[in-house]
Amino acid sequence: MTTSNATRGGVGNARAGANFALIKYWGKADAVLNTPAVGSISITLDTLYTDTEIVFDATLARDELVLNGKRRDEDVDKISACLDLLRKPRGVTTRARVTSRNNFPTGAGLASSASGFAALVRAAEVALGLNLTPRERSIVARQGSGSAARSIFGGFVEMYAGTASDGSDSFAEPLLAADAWPLEVVIAVTAKGEKEIGSRSGMTRSATSSPYYPAWVAGQTADLATARVAIAARDFAALADVAEHNCLKMHAAAMATQPPLVYWNGATVECLHAVRRLRADGVPVFFTIDAGPQVKAVCEPGARSRVEAVLRDVPGVLDLLTSRLGPGAEPT
Ligand code: DP6
């Protein structure tokens, strides 16, 4: 460690890719530990990422965050709480200046909190001179944002909900390396700007008011098992079926929340139909949608140009982003 590093003004830099869940996390077991009510399975991306620099500076009275060139005082408490998990056990009291940049739209359902907290943990680890295990990184990142526990790792990743009262078994692990099944993702951007109801308050509201929330939780073990087998066998059709089913169940539970959470717009629905038509025509592609209106079409590499051509023509699609599967969070 290195309290001395920190008081000298330790600096760390890291990059972490966004991830999209194929079997989703929606609902918490414990809000303080930020443990999920259900496990999840995701893919980490290579071209959508967050770059973060952290500087521990003894002259600062509190932590500071600059995201995409703007000060974000409203987000500092979450950053401080996550950094305290690394600082407090080591007696570090130095505050930090965090400068982060997403190379993709922030807060629009493109997993910016996942890449953001994964990059923060890796950068802070370097700045403080720590040598955490991958599991420790994932546990700290989880307490920043549940999905961030997965962005610590590359390729296909599974997050365990865990049962321990201290959250020590609630972490992610790699399932399959990115190059072992090199799927690609075409993202149809159907709205820009930050979403109104973030995942955190949305999922909390669903858990307390959606009549479908208990059914959502009850089905997750089976969906995780099906997806695990499909990934191990590189069985695209099986993964497509379970991922779309799981996504629609999450959104059904969200829509039945009071007040309702309808994350989709008209173009979201058109994209969903376009992807289903493509698959019916034999194109290996399926959709997933998170807490926002963007549609993520996951496909085999040979199908990407066809998927792009079809989604580009859907009315209301503003932009397309593409990505391969990528590595875990790493110092830069
Ligand atoms: C719909 O990880 O953003 O993207 O733990 O409260 O920060 P917090 O939530 P967050 O939720 C992600 C929800 C989701 C599905 C998923 O990524 O699994």
- What is the per-residue pLDDT for 4? 47
299 forms beta bridges with 184, 285
Q: How far apart are the first and last CA of the chain?
A: 19
Closest residue to atom 11 of ligand 1, CA basis: 199
Pocket test for ligand 1, best of 22, 24, 25 (most atoms within 8 A of CB): 25
How far is ligand 1, taken at its centre, from the CA of residue 114, in Å?
Answer: 8
- What is the per-residue pLDDT for 3? 46
Backbone angles phi, psi at 285, to 5 degrees: -150, 145
- How many angstroms separate the CA atoms of 64 and 185, rounded? 34
Closest residue to atom 7 of ligand 1, CA basis: 145
Q: Residues 332, 21, 120, CA angle at the centre, nearest 5°?
A: 30
- What is the per-residue pLDDT for 193? 75
Per-residue pLDDT of the chain (332 residues; tens, 9 = 90+): 444 444 556 999 999 999 999 999 999 999 999 999 999 999 999 999 999 999 999 999 999 999 999 999 999 999 999 999 999 999 999 999 999 999 887 656 676 789 999 999 999 999 999 999 999 999 999 999 999 999 999 999 999 999 999 999 999 999 999 999 999 999 999 998 766 788 999 999 999 999 999 999 999 999 999 999 999 999 999 999 999 999 999 999 999 999 999 999 999 999 999 999 999 999 999 999 999 999 999 999 999 999 999 999 999 999 999 999 999 999 99
Map tokens 């008209």 to a residue.
266
- What is the per-residue pLDDT for 1? 42
- Residue type for 11, please? V
Closest residue to atom 6 of ligand 1, CA basis: 200
How far is ligand 1, taken at its centre, from the CA of residue 148, in Å?
Answer: 8
Instruction: Give the number of the atom of ligand 1 that is nearest the alpha carbon of residue 147.
Output: 2
Nearest residue to 119 via CA among 135, 133, 136, 98:
98
Burial 167-196 (b: 16+ CB within 10 A, else e): beebbbebbbebeebebbbbbbbbbeeebe
How far is ligand 1, taken at its centre, from the CA of residue 89, in Å?
Answer: 27
Instruction: Give the number of the atom of ligand 1 that is nearest the alpha carbon of residue 34.
Output: 5
| Residues flanking ligand 1, CB < 6 Å | 21, 24-26, 34, 40, 113, 145-147, 199-200, 290-291
* DSSP symbol at 325: B
How far is ligand 1, taken at its centre, from the CA of residue 98, in Å?
Answer: 22
Instruction: Give the number of the atom of ligand 1 that is nearest the alpha carbon of residue 114.
Output: 2
Token pair, residue 163, equals 């049962």
How far is ligand 1, taken at its centre, from the CA of residue 200, in Å?
Answer: 7
**Is 265 strand, coil or helix?**
coil
How far is ligand 1, taken at its centre, from the CA of residue 172, in Å?
Answer: 14
